[in-house]
Amino acid sequence: MLRSMYSGISGMKNFQQKLDVTGNNIANVNTFGFKKGRATFKDMVSQQIAGATAPTDVRGGVNPRQIGLGTQLGTIDTIHTQGSLQNTNRELDLGISGDGFFQVADEDDQTFYTRAGNFYLDEEGNIVNGDGFYLVGEDGDVPLSIPIEAESFSIGENGQISYIEDGDLEEGSQIALAQFDNPEGLEKAGDNLYQASANSGEPAEELPGEGGAGILVPGTLEMSNVDLSEEFTEMIVAQRGFQANTRGITTADEVLQELMNLKR
């Protein structure tokens, strides 16, 4: 009876966390480069009522008897599936078709990784993201820049930056992507950024289209991979699971109330 109450409490807590993950997915449905999360559960330790016995010459075997003590949060996964590419026709909007992450560096030379490819030029012609972090190029080249005197510029699917200056076509630096053995092990750092963790592996620098890295699609942005219909379904499932656990607690409370009334 008391076990059922605590099992219900554990279920309520975990479904609340599932709702938190689902709500965050929905909130970021239009966030460029966002990768949705997924909460999974696992059962807690079970109390052994009776152990298993092996069969003998005169009697068959008996299975163990155990009572579960509730549920616990198993994992919160980051699902790195490809998001759809939205056309913007802007030269500094870059989508990645395939694997890999853009590399950006802050003022302390700390490197972060992102799938959000909305980049900008500062007054010195350096390519930066919305927070002013420099886009990193091949062999750690930073900052990547385009001469402010350039008449026009373009970025190829291999990350090569080209521009026209004084009527001549010039080639600048080349954008490089980072790949990880376990991208799901990356830690979310906020602001559409990831950072390497102890379980993500070290980043391997690859040029777009080489070494298994995806290609760049200039003039596009990768949208969130959140599917609203799926998230609303998961929200309903979590809500019903939460309600079912509250009903279990209410039922256990009613049984306790009946026990209290036995004295009357």
Whether 213 maps to a domain, the answer reads yes
pTM of the model: 0.89
Whether 53 maps to a domain, the answer reads no
For the chain, the domain total comes to 2
- pLDDT value of residue 264: 65
Whether residue 197 is found in the same domain as residue 238 = no
Helix (H, G, I), strand (E, B) or coil at 141: coil
Whether residue 199 is found in the same domain as residue 247 = no
Query: What is the dihedral sign for C-alpha 92, 93, 97, 100?
Result: positive
Whether residue 90 is found in the same domain as residue 216 = yes
Whether residue 160 is found in the same domain as residue 191 = yes
Whether 58 maps to a domain, the answer reads no
Whether residue 212 is found in the same domain as residue 90 = yes
Whether 54 maps to a domain, the answer reads no
Whether residue 168 is found in the same domain as residue 93 = yes
- pLDDT value of residue 259: 85
Whether 75 maps to a domain, the answer reads yes
Whether residue 147 is found in the same domain as residue 115 = yes
Whether residue 35 is found in the same domain as residue 160 = no
Q: Which residues of the chain have pLDDT under 50?
A: none
Contacts of 143 (CB under 8 A, 6+ apart): 126, 127, 128, 134, 135
Query: What is the dihedral sign for C-alpha 11, 15, 17, 18?
Result: positive
Whether residue 186 is found in the same domain as residue 167 = yes
Whether residue 100 is found in the same domain as residue 206 = yes
- pLDDT value of residue 1: 61
Whether residue 106 is found in the same domain as residue 147 = yes
Q: Containing domain of residue 156, as a range? A: 85-222
End-to-end CA distance of the chain, in Å?
21
CA-nearest of 201, 211, 33 to 138 is 211
Whether 140 maps to a domain, the answer reads yes
Answer for the pair 119, 135: CB distance below 8 angstroms, yes or no: yes
Whether 60 maps to a domain, the answer reads no
Whether 233 maps to a domain, the answer reads yes
